[in-house]
């Protein structure tokens, strides 16, 4: 649940972007991100996470640019910026060897398993699956920008399929590799 809550800023962005506008949506995403970070800093049993910090920087930076630079971007254009930023956050977490899922997994897995190679590998694989999902979102955004004649439902269907697939994979994969697999 913790990792899914980290996507609340993106939900806030999407809702406000659709109802009011892109700049306000970005501001809503930044505000929700800030609230999640404050919750983690205040809580004794939580700490700020890579995804939440990156999300705040992404939304705050884009909101600032939006209000100062006043870009004339479309809904799809701003979504491309957000989705590409999210993909970069995930890819950087993989590149530096600290997959973003690791911090969430440590909240639900016994500490004695944290140092296991299987635990590290599982989180690399799950984070890679999320990277693929976010790459699909970026592809959908690019297609929608480059070919405006493509129905919007294409982007919606691809986005939903990619995110649902990543959520289901995140749930399934650790169980498929279970503790008995680490002994092999």
pTM (2 decimals)?
Answer: 0.87
Q: What's the longest Cα–Cα distance across the chain?
A: 57
The pLDDT value given to residue 70 = 87
Tens-digit pLDDT profile for residues 14-58: 899 989 999 999 999 999 999 999 998 998 888 889 999 999 999
Question: CA 166 to CA 160: how far, in whole Å?
Answer: 10
For the cut 90, the answer to whether the pLDDT of residue 116 exceeds it is yes
Mean pLDDT of 51-67: 95
Average pLDDT, the chain: 90
Which residues, in sequence order, are CB contacts of 86 under 8 Å at separation 6+?
Answer: 10, 54, 55, 58, 134, 137
Q: How far apart are CA 98 and CA 82, in angstroms?
A: 21
Rounded to the nearest 5°, which phi and psi values hold at 158? -65, -40
In the numeric block, the tokens 């480059």 are attached to 146
Domain ranges of the chain: 1-72, 75-178
pLDDT beyond 80 at 118: yes
């Amino acid at each position: 649940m913790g990792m899914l809550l980290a996507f609340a800023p993106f939900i806030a962005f999407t809702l406000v972007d659709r109802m009011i506008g892109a700049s306000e949506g970005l501001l809503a995403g930044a505000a929700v991100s800030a609230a999640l970070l404050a919750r983690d800093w205040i809580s004794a049993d939580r700490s700020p996470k890579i995804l939440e910090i990156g999300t705040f920087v992404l939304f705050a930076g884009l909101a600032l640019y939006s209000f100062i630079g006043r870009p004339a971007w479309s809904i799809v254009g701003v979504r491309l910026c957000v989705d590409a930023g999210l993909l970069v956050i995930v890819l950087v977490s993989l590149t530096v060897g600290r997959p973003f899922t690791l911090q969430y997994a440590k909240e639900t897995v016994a500490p004695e398993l944290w140092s296991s190679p299987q635990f590290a590998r599982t989180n690399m694989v799950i984070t890679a699956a999320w990277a693929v999902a976010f790459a699909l979102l970026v592809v959908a955004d690019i297609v929608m920008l480059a070919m405006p004649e493509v129905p919007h439902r294409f982007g919606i269907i691809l986005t939903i399929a990619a995110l649902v697939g990543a959520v289901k994979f995140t749930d399934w994969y650790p169980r498929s590799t279970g503790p008995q697999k680490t002994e092999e």
